[in-house]
Amino acid sequence: MLVRELKTRPKNWSESTRQVRRWTLPFYALEWVLQWVAYGLSRWAFLEVLEYASSFSVLVAVVFYYSESGDRKKQKHYQAWQVINTAQGKGGSGGRIEALQELNVDHEPLVGVDASGAFLQGVRLHGANLLRCDLSSSDLRLSDLSGANLEYAELVSANFRGANLRKTIFKDADLHDADLVGADLSEADFSGANLERVDLRNTDLSRVRFAKAAAIRGANIYGVRNAPGGFMAWALAHGAISNGAGL
């Protein structure tokens, strides 16, 4: 809070120096001059106006900062999409992990995003809307896509080893030749999904939904855990295999 303090008028030189030792006079003279300067400035209203103006300018800056927050967010999203689109079709990360995570944190839909062949190991996209995305041949090991919507997604040959795919929606997605070894698939929805030659070894299938899966021929279900009742028999009857080799 701004407080204007009026200084007391300093004593004149003769009064001020009566009890001052001679060798300290040069130092005291400087102090005495500064006292008069402070006294004069304390009565100068122009300085008080400047202080008020300074406080007001800070207030204006704060108001403008918050009023432009929407534009800054749009600019941030635009730059993130530029990173993703520029790296399209290229290997490596190319900054896509950070860009995808930033967009998802701001609840931006990632519908139709193309990150095929990308290195996205460890990406955190919990609850992301990845409808119709293309992540085919991407490295998504140890990623977190729990609760994400991957409906109609292209996930051919994607590597989801050790990933958190709990409650993830794979409805009508194409996962043939995907690697899901050791992934948490509990409560995931594979309704209508293509699971041909998918590697499901050691996955957690607790309360998973495979109703009307398009195909599971050639899928490896060795060591699956917590599979729903009747799943093993159904899968083997539709061409799945159980082979622990290579683990």
SS3 assignment for 110-179: CCCCECCCCECCCCECCCCECCCCECCCCECCCCECCCCECCCCECCCCECCCCECCCCECCCCECCCCE
Which pLDDT value is given to residue 67?
A: 60
pLDDT at 243 over 80: yes
What tokens were used for 155? 């996930």
Do both 96 and 112 map to the same domain? yes
Percent of the chain with pLDDT over 90: 61
Average pLDDT of the residues in 1-6: 55
- Choice between 151 and 29, residue whose per-residue pLDDT is larger: 151
CB 137 within 8 A of CB 147: no
* Residue span of the structural domain in which 35 resides: 24-67
Q: Residue 34: pLDDT band by 50, 70, 90 thresholds? A: confident
Tens of pLDDT along 86-128? 988 888 888 999 999 999 999 999 999 999 999 999 999 999 9
Do both 144 and 39 map to the same domain? no
CB 149 within 8 A of CB 129: yes
Q: Which range has the top average pLDDT, 53-57, 136-140, 208-212?
A: 136-140
Do both 95 and 35 map to the same domain? no
Do both 52 and 142 map to the same domain? no
Long-range contacts of 168-176 (CB under 8 A, 24+ apart): 172/214, 176/215
Do both 79 and 149 map to the same domain? yes
Tens of pLDDT along 192-230? 999 999 999 999 999 999 877 789 999 999 999 999 988
CB 214 within 8 A of CB 235: no
Domain end: 67, 94, 127, which one? 67
Give the C-alpha separation, 244 to 202, whole Å: 9
CATH number at residue 192: 2.160.20.80
**Helix intervals (H) in the chain:** 13-16, 25-42, 45-67, 69-86, 96-105, 231-237
Give the C-alpha separation, 194 to 212, whole Å: 10
Give the C-alpha separation, 37 to 42, whole Å: 9
User: Measured on CA atoms in the order 29, 31, 34, 40, is the torsion positive or negative?
Assistant: negative
Which pLDDT value is given to residue 72?
A: 73
Which pLDDT value is given to residue 41?
A: 66
